[in-house]
Structure formats: structure tokens, C-alpha cells
Amino acid sequence: MRSEITANNEYHTPENTSHLLLDRITFCTRFVFTGLFLRTVFRSRSLARKGVYDAQHWIQSSHDIFTDVERVGGRIQVTGLDHIRNCPGPVIFLSNHMSTLETMILPGIIQPLADVTFVVKEALVKHWAFRDVMLSRKPIVLSRSNPREDLLIVMKQGAERLKNGISVIIFPQSTRRIEFRPAEFNSLGTKLAARTGTWVIPTAVKTDFWGFGRFSSYLGPIDRKKPVHIAFGEPIKVTGTGKEEHQQVIDFISGCLEQWKQADRKAGK
């Protein structure tokens, strides 16, 4: 386990990280990362099929992918960890969805601080590579084809998870997008929070380090020039219909993305 990732309020990839051979043979970086990623996927899948893939294995495999990003030259910045650490009881994490990467590394960041699961689309729990691992974490599964039915599922199963002390990660966008579109950021999460009296933690991610693949969206190219950013905002108590709080989450994500964009421009990235 990499305890230093969640030891403080922030984590930053050390500046002196050495990449040796990969720095000389940059053309193979994508393939090296893909190989490392698949190794973790298959190892986790094997454990899940044996029925022994527990929370600690989930943290470990997530940390492995986190480390693999750094091994191929990626830089990761995580902020706002104290907002998770100091929050009383389970919460709902509402995040934009940019790439596969946040799905893989968020468990290793959140689970050491709070038991957590995902709201996921049905296709993910049917995917040959991810099915067994995902089902072992007891996610809330949505069809994404019937909004009314999905709302009922989230309200019922989400309330059950939260009652049992399990926080929930929700990506309210309909699909992964590099560009954040607030109009596509639905209010499932704030509605669940309003119904259950739960706090929400706005979560912003910039993970375009890992792009979309031509033949598989999960195995795209990587860009070492693009830092990985993850920020957790202050918990928000949802009252009434939750419309105001929903906008606060959108504003937090939009603000972080704009701040990171400006920082990257100044750094010449």
C-alpha cells in the first residue's frame, strides 16, 4: 500500500521521479502503460473470481495503477483529502467524468478514508475484464436508457448503501468527455442527498493524461505532458430540492478545470 497518497491533505508526485529507460524510448510509453494496466486488471479479475477480492485488494490495485501513471512519467496532484477525512459519516461524491483513469484511481484515494462504492452503467458490470471486480464492490447499476427507472434505483439502493455507512461515487454525466458540459451533469446525486439528508463532496478531475483508444475506449494513448488533477471540495449539505447545491457542485468543477487549464498554459503544456 502507498500510505503517503492519503497521509496528508494533498499529494503531489515527487519532482525527482526518475523514468530512466522510458525517458529515452518515449514512443513505447503507451504500450508500457497499457501492459502495466492489463497486468493489474487480470490479477484483480483472478482474485475476484476466487471470491477473495476485498476492500484492501481494491485499494492495492488502485494504488498500482496510480503508481504506474507515475512510472511512465505522469504527474498526479490530489487536493482536499481532509474534506473526506473530517466528514461525519458517509457522503456522496459528485464528479465529472473525463477518462477511465478516475474510475481506476479514485478507490485508492477514497477507500482508505471511507468505505465507498460506485454508481455504474450496466455495460461495465457486463464487460469481460471488469465484471467480476466491479460486482465484488456491490455497485449501484444503472441502464442509462431509462432515466426514471435509474432514478428509482439510485434512490432505493443509494439510500441502502448510505444507511450501511458506505459512501457513493456518482458520475452524473451520461458519458466520459474531455470537455465538461454542465447541461449533461444530471441531478441524481443531489436528489439522493436531499432524500437521505447526506452531504455531498464536489469532486473535480482532469485525467486527459489517458485518452480514448480507437479500438477500445479503455486502452487509449497517454500524454505525459498533461498532469492528472483530482480535487475534493468542501462538503455541501443539501436542503430543499437541491437545485442550489447542484449548481455549487457544477461551479466547483468548472472552477477547478479552468484553474488547471490556466496553470497548464502558463507552464507551456
Report the chain's C-alpha Rg in angstroms.
18
Q: Give the three-state DSSP class for 230.
A: strand
Amino acid code (one letter) for 22: L
Give yes or no for a contact between 262 and 206, defined as CB atoms under 8 angstroms apart: no
Predicted pLDDT at 20: 47
166-205 pLDDT tens trace: 999 999 987 888 889 999 999 999 999 999 999 999 999 9
Name the average pLDDT for the chain.
91
The sign of the torsion formed by the CA atoms of 179, 114, 55, 61 equals positive
Going along the chain, which residue ranges are E strands?
Answer: 11-12, 76-79, 92-95, 116-121, 140-142, 167-170, 199-206, 228-232, 236-237
Give yes or no for a contact between 233 and 255, defined as CB atoms under 8 angstroms apart: no
Predicted pLDDT at 263: 85
pLDDT of 118 higher than 70: yes
Give yes or no for a contact between 240 and 193, defined as CB atoms under 8 angstroms apart: no
Spatial distance between the Cα atoms of 91 and 210, rounded to a whole number of angstroms: 28
pTM: 0.93
Residue 218 phi, psi (nearest 5): -85, -10
CA distances to 8, 58, 81, 139, 161 from 85, rounded to whole Å, are 10, 19, 6, 22, 19
SS3 content of the chain, % helix, strand, coil (to 5): 50, 15, 35
Which of the four pLDDT bands, split at 50, 70 and 90, describes residue 226? Answer: very high
Give yes or no for a contact between 196 and 158, defined as CB atoms under 8 angstroms apart: yes
Spatial distance between the Cα atoms of 269 and 232, rounded to a whole number of angstroms: 24
Q: Indicate the CATH number for domain 3-266.
A: 3.40.1130
2-44 pLDDT tens trace: 899 999 999 999 986 545 444 545 545 788 899 999 999 999 9
Give yes or no for a contact between 170 and 189, defined as CB atoms under 8 angstroms apart: yes
Spatial distance between the Cα atoms of 164 and 213, rounded to a whole number of angstroms: 38
Each domain of the chain, given as residue ranges in start order, spans: 3-266
pLDDT of 91 higher than 80: yes
